[in-house]
Amino acid sequence: MLPDSALLDSVASPDAMLSVDASGIVVGVNSQVERLLGWHEEELLWDSFFGRLQPRDAEGFYVESWPRVVHLRIVRAVPQFEVDLMHVGGRMVKCALTARLQRKAGEFAGAVISLRDLAGRRLESGAARMVATVAHEIRAPLTGVRGFASLLLRKGDAVTSDQREEMLGQIVTEAERMTRLVGELLDVSRLEAGRLILASERVSVADVVSRAVAQARSAVEGAGGVEIDVDVSPEHAVIGDPDKVLQIVANLVENAVKYGDAPLTVSSRSLPEREETEIGVHDTGYIPPEILPRIFSKYWRRERPGRPSGTGLGLYISKGLAEAQDGRLEATSSVAGGTTFTVRLPGAADSHGAG
């Protein structure tokens, strides 16, 4: 039986605690919850934990329900991980979350969730910020890899083949996240040290855009259903490093899928008077003018409820890669016109007349 509010308050704990049943309904909270998140007990009781508090995982994805792993009978607790939760004032609060699972006749009946505030951490220097980013972004996937791997080692004979496949898939996904983060950090280091080695060759814009859209659909959960219109001339080409041009465009498309509003349009045009070719990624979302100048800053992340949150390095790296190839990356936004990210790179001589 899940403890009610009175029982949770009787526990001498500095953590905010909530009892949440198998359907995600809050059935008990202690007084620390109001101190942490601002919600009164009556605002949370008998409401959806996932709907009211809009939890987002380390990748920034909205968590809509209990993860399937809680239904494995051998799982007794969810190890600590970081999560963002909605404060009554509309901002997101970063918390360390642990959960003690409750079962009835072996079936998942809910959990007692404990939360600890992590929002007060401050970083004093660029080096400290880098270390904090690595620690924050790698901790969650490492916890997942360790948890699933340990479970398979200890209880491998007790899980079904489908459960084993799901856990192995999660291990691969988390490992890919860590690989991507390390790659981003290496790019930052090389850009800032001037040690980036770039090729210089003709790069087809149509090929880059096609691959970038495919990457975004593969990398972003739910992106398969996002409408992406491509209006790119097969004759357009730029001069640059093929991998880095793809990295720039893929990041812009992925960002539009994650943070923008559909439909999306990816287009190109030749600028013969400047000997450049332009690639634009447009969505119908809006970035306020007070925020727009900051989006290319290192580690800057825009907090939007229900939307993913990344490392804050993608746009910074993309702008640096564009400038390292004698190009530039800019963004414009308006309420009526939406948001457009535009990268301009030296155009291949044989594509300037393509329009």
Cβ neighbours, 10 Å, residue 123: 13
Question: Of 141, 168, 195, which residue is a domain's last?
Answer: 195
Q: Are 23 and 4 in contact (CB under 8 A)?
A: no
- Residues 13, 298: Cα–Cα separation, whole Å: 37
Question: Per-residue pLDDT for the chain (355 aa), expressed as one digit of tens each?
Answer: 788 999 998 887 889 999 999 999 999 999 999 999 999 999 999 999 999 999 988 767 778 888 877 877 767 787 788 899 999 998 899 999 989 999 988 889 999 999 998 865 543 445 555 566 566 667 767 777 888 888 888 887 888 888 888 888 888 877 877 887 788 878 877 776 667 788 999 999 999 999 999 888 876 665 556 889 999 999 999 999 999 999 999 999 988 888 888 899 999 999 998 899 999 999 999 999 988 888 988 777 766 655 555 677 889 889 989 998 999 999 999 999 999 999 999 999 876 556 6
Pair (184, 328) in one structural domain = no
Pair (225, 166) in one structural domain = no
Q: Which residue bears the tokens 């000997």?
A: 275
Give the residue numbers spanning the domain of 234.
201-354
- Residues 212, 219: Cα–Cα separation, whole Å: 10
Helices (H) and strands (E) in the chain, counts: 9, 12
DSSP structure string for 284-345? S----TTTGGGTTSTT-----TTS----S-HHHHHHHHHHHTT-EEEEEEETTTEEEEEEEE
- Residues 330, 313: Cα–Cα separation, whole Å: 16
Structure-block tokens of residue 201: 């060759």
Question: Of 172, 195, 218, which residue is a domain's last?
Answer: 195
Angle at 195 between CA 189 and CA 200, to 5 degrees: 120
